[in-house]
């Protein structure tokens, strides 16, 4: 069953231009990002290179950052096969609960 919230059409030029502009704005502000940061990226992502997420983690100023490349995962981790979806969801829940309990400390390819 297809997810009705996922667009399968090719993006229009205007949307693509706005997404690229937003990416540039985010990249320009990474050194000022001091909030806790969790980045999960699919190892087999054919739309976005996992190296970009690793670079994002490297450049973000946050002392609490976790960057992980999820083995065997595609572009949309939460819409991947059930095992990938469950693993990604568990990582997000664990990360949030640790911080809600007052813990922190990143791990993974982005430093921290």
Half-sphere exposure of residue 39: CA atoms within 13 angstroms, side-chain side:
25
Q: Which residues lie across from 69 on neighbouring strands?
A: 41
Quote the tokens at residue 19: 């997404």
On whether residue 109 sits in a domain, the answer given is no
10 falls within a domain: no
pLDDT for the residue numbered 14: 92
Number of domains into which the chain is organized:
1
C-alpha distance from residue 78 to each of 15, 42, 56, 70, 81 (Å): 23, 10, 20, 12, 8
Does residue 9 form part of some domain? no
Please indicate, yes or no, if residue 35 is contained in any of the structural domains.
yes
User: Which parts of the chain sit beneath pLDDT 70?
Assistant: 1-7, 104-112
pTM: 0.77
Domain extent, residue 78, equals 26-99
pLDDT in tens, 33-46: 899 999 999 999 98
- Determine, yes or no, domain membership for 108: no
Q: Is residue 21 part of a domain?
A: no
Confidence (pLDDT) at 2: 60
Q: What is the pLDDT of residue 8?
A: 73
CATH no. for residue 77? 3.40.50.1820
């Amino acid at each position: 069953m297809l997810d009705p919230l996922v667009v399968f059409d090719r993006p229009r030029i205007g949307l693509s231009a706005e997404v690229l502009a937003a990416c540039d704005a985010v990249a320009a502000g990474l050194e000022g990002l001091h909030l806790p940061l969790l980045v999960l990226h699919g190892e087999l992502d054919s739309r976005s290179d996992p190296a970009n997420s690793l670079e994002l983690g490297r450049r973000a100023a946050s002392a609490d950052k976790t960057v992980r490349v999820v083995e065997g995962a595609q572009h949309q981790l939460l819409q991947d096969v059930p095992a990938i979806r469950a693993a990604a969801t568990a990582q997000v829940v664990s990360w949030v609960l640790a911080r809600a309990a007052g813990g922190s400390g990143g791990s993974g390819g982005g430093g921290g």
